[in-house]
Amino acid sequence: MGECLPWPTCDKVARIMSAGSRLSTWHPVARAADLRPGDNIAAGFAQGQELALWRSADDAVQAWENRCPHRSVRFTLGQVVENRLACAYHGWQYAAGSGECLHIPAHPGMPPPRNVCAKVFSVAEAAGMVWVSLEEAAPAAPPRDDAVPAKWSFCRTLTVRAEAAVVREALAARGFTADGSSSAVRGALDGIDTVALVLDARLRLAFIHLWTDAAPGSDAMKALHIAARILRSGIEASQPAS
Amino acid sequence: MPFITDDANMLNDWLVAGPAAALDNTSEAAPRTARLLGEVLCLWRDAAGAPQCRLGTQPLAVQARHGYLWVCPSGQPARPLFDFPEYGQPGRRIIDCGGIGVAVSGLRVIENFLDMAHFPFVHGGILGQMPHTEVAAYQVQVDSVTGEIWATDCRFWQPRASAAHGSGSEVIYKYRVMQPLTAMLYKSSSRAGELDAIGLFLQPLDDEHVIAHTLLACYDDTSTDAELIAFQHAIFGQDKPILENHAFKRMPLEGRAETPTRGDTSSVTYRRWLRERGMRFGVRQAA
């Protein structure tokens, strides 16, 4: 315990992932409220793809490959400037939506070459979450807004050192069931009504976004936080040592 | 063959393995160890004062020059170690700023060292400052005799160019790449008509880890050694998190994975120079 997981480079993971099939699906990568307009950049993952998640000043959520096309430095080190993302290394600025490079500070008088473009993924907001598709063409149907019941509260995102399939099995073993129409599963942890959204982050790493009908600050919410940690310990303890 | 690479660009060259002063008070029985290309070397100074090196029971070629220890893993160097005439010049202060570990291909570290465009963003308020972001055209050539890359006529506006510079000015730079993992920069000094020299010598631990040794050969009559070292550490401390956050730790030399622009002439020349010598160590294989 306590030892670091190997951190495969994202191209290596992408190769492993593409050996299987990338499901045509929406991945719940982050809580929508955690991306503030014109402000922060969050690191995200989906099936081994590293993402830079941010929101433009005019409130359009963005999910980009976490890599500047110039020298491959992670965009998450950069900053949001209005409706642009600026790389931390050389200040190159890219447009929300298209990912097109709009400004190269080293050559302020030169229009950036048209082919300089951040890789942009399809993204949507629903049920209080940000959803990303890794496909060229996003799934025809948007993510369902009823994946989490209205007026429920966010508990936490749990990172679990296990495959997403193992996490889903563990939740099923604890009585969680899918409603058949969304990627959410619903059940109870320590008797508290909970919806779990499982994200296949990368090799041997899954995220579980937990929502509940318990009120923020309530005893039930505190109990759910404890139950979540026990859930994680249980899943990770059942993993073969890597 | 021991060592984690069979790239002749590494095996048949002189690689830095730490400062020569580290061999003070060493002996064959009590050597200093140094990591190089996935191995751990033993280094010591013999009774005659000559540096010695061993990998297991195998003696390796070693020399002490320019204040550092240089090891040739194969014992068959393709060329002699580069010259560093400023090292012995009277009036220059020679300061070893120590070694700093960096978790990235050394090629990325050299490319960063040759780059001015990042100054206002990574070293804002020191080596550059908004809105002075423009990189003017400069010259890059490969010396036909030594094979070294030289970038000349580089100029950049700096608010505080060194520990000795108090106020903003346009600073002249020259850059020189001697080996895939060693480079020098020369910049305006506090002494009229003279350039300070800063050497960056990378000790390759593996394809994605180096120890970066920085050496100053500078004119400065006021700063203490500690101030000069602190300045270099402050700069390096700003580069390190950038360097360690390349999504590809190894540098691509082929294809369109990365996109240079007009001011990246040094980088473009360096990558072509590496490609032409068949560099594989620290290089990202094309997808």
Q: Is residue A7 over pLDDT 70?
A: no
Please tell me which of the candidates B121, B261, B262 has its beta carbon nearest to residue A91: B121
| A 134-163 → B contacts, CB under 8 A | none
* SS3 (DSSP) at B232: helix
CB count, 10 Å around CB of A121? 22
- Asked if B217 contacts B86 with a C-beta cutoff of 8 angstroms, the reply is yes
Q: When comparing pLDDT for A26 and A3, which is higher?
A: A26
CA B177 vs CA A207, B198, B223, B240: distances in Å: 45, 12, 28, 20
The answer to whether residue A81 neighbours chain B at the CB level (below 8 Å) is no
* SS3 (DSSP) at A79: strand
Q: Is residue A100 over pLDDT 80?
A: yes
Give me the residues of chain B with pLDDT under 50, please.
Answer: none
Q: Is residue A10 over pLDDT 60?
A: no
Q: Is residue A88 over pLDDT 80?
A: yes
Please tell me which of the candidates B134, B242, B287 has its beta carbon nearest to residue A89: B242
**Could you tell me the fold of the domain covering A153-237?**
TATA-Binding Protein (3.30.310)
How confident is the model at residue B1, as a pLDDT? 59
The A84-86 sheet, strands edge to edge: A79-81, A84-86, A93-95, A101-103
Q: Is residue A202 over pLDDT 70?
A: yes
Q: Is residue A149 over pLDDT 90?
A: yes
- Asked if B163 contacts B232 with a C-beta cutoff of 8 angstroms, the reply is no
How confident is the model at residue B165, as a pLDDT? 61
**Please, which pLDDT band fits residue A175 given cuts at 50, 70 and 90?**
very high
Q: How far apart are CA A158 and CA A233, in angstroms?
A: 11
How confident is the model at residue B262, as a pLDDT? 87
Closest CA to B172 of B148, B189, B150, B147: B189
* SS3 (DSSP) at A230: helix
Mutation choice for A interface testing from B127, B157, B239, B242 by most A CBs within 10 A? B242
Q: Per-residue pLDDT tens for B15-64?
A: 999 999 999 999 999 999 999 999 999 999 999 999 999 999 999 999 99
**Please, which pLDDT band fits residue A14 given cuts at 50, 70 and 90?**
very low
How confident is the model at residue B219, as a pLDDT? 94
How confident is the model at residue B170, as a pLDDT? 87
Put simply, the answer to whether A106 touches B133 (Cβ < 8 Å) is yes
How confident is the model at residue A180, as a pLDDT? 63
Give contacts of A106 with chain B, Cβ < 8 Å: 117, 133-135, 261-263
3-state helix, strand, coil in chain B (%, to 5): 20, 40, 40
- CA B208-B33-B25 angle, to 5 degrees, is 145
**Domain segments of chain A: what residues?**
10-133, 153-237
Q: How far apart are CA B43 and CA B40, in angstroms?
A: 10
Q: How far apart are CA A108 and CA B261, in angstroms?
A: 12
- Asked if A38 contacts A85 with a C-beta cutoff of 8 angstroms, the reply is no
B79: which DSSP letter? S
Please tell me which of the candidates B121, B247, B260 has its beta carbon nearest to residue A50: B247
The answer to whether residue A222 neighbours chain B at the CB level (below 8 Å) is no
Q: Is residue A219 over pLDDT 90?
A: yes
Q: Is residue A13 over pLDDT 50?
A: no
Give A10-133's CATH code, choosing from 3.90.1490.10, 3.30.460.80, 3.30.200.20, 2.102.10.10.
2.102.10.10
**Mean pLDDT across chain A:** 90
> Following CA atoms B258, B260, B264, B267 in sequence, which dihedral angle do they give, to the nearest 10 degrees?
30
User: Residue type at B248?
Assistant: F
Please tell me which of the candidates A11, A72, A88 has its beta carbon nearest to residue B121: A88
3-state SS string over B146-176? Answer: CCCEEEEEEEEEECCCCCCCCCCEEEEEEEE
The answer to whether residue B242 neighbours chain A at the CB level (below 8 Å) is yes
- CA A67-A72-A76 angle, to 5 degrees, is 40
Say which range, A11-20, A158-167, B218-227, has the weakest mean pLDDT: A11-20
- Asked if A156 contacts A228 with a C-beta cutoff of 8 angstroms, the reply is yes
The answer to whether residue A73 neighbours chain B at the CB level (below 8 Å) is yes
CA A180 vs CA A10, A29, A151, A184, B214: distances in Å: 32, 20, 21, 9, 61
Put simply, the answer to whether A106 touches B122 (Cβ < 8 Å) is no
Put simply, the answer to whether A89 touches B249 (Cβ < 8 Å) is no
Q: How far apart are CA B44 and CA B69, in angstroms?
A: 10
**Could you tell me the fold of the domain covering B85-284?**
Naphthalene 1,2-dioxygenase Alpha Subunit; Chain A, domain 1 (3.90.380)
**Domain segments of chain B: what residues?**
8-72, 85-284
Q: Per-residue pLDDT tens for B227-243?
A: 999 999 999 999 999 99
CB count, 10 Å around CB of A122? 16
Domain made up of B8-72: CATH architecture:
Single Sheet (2.20)
The answer to whether residue A119 neighbours chain B at the CB level (below 8 Å) is no
CB count, 10 Å around CB of A231? 23
Put simply, the answer to whether A115 touches B258 (Cβ < 8 Å) is no
Give contacts of A108 with chain B, Cβ < 8 Å: 133-134
Put simply, the answer to whether A70 touches B245 (Cβ < 8 Å) is no
CA B202 vs CA A204, B15, B115, B228: distances in Å: 34, 8, 17, 20
Give contacts of A115 with chain B, Cβ < 8 Å: 259
Neighbouring residues of B285: CB distance < 8 A, sequence distance ≥ 6? none
- B252 backbone dihedrals φ, ψ, rounded to 5°: -75, 135
CB count, 10 Å around CB of B253? 23
| B 113-142 → A contacts, CB under 8 A | 117-118, 120-122, 133-135
How confident is the model at residue B97, as a pLDDT? 97
Q: A172-181 burial by CB neighbour count: b if 16+ within 10 A, else e?
A: eebebeeeee
The answer to whether residue A105 neighbours chain B at the CB level (below 8 Å) is yes
Please tell me which of the candidates B134, B242, B287 has its beta carbon nearest to residue A106: B134
Asked if ipTM goes beyond 0.90, one says yes
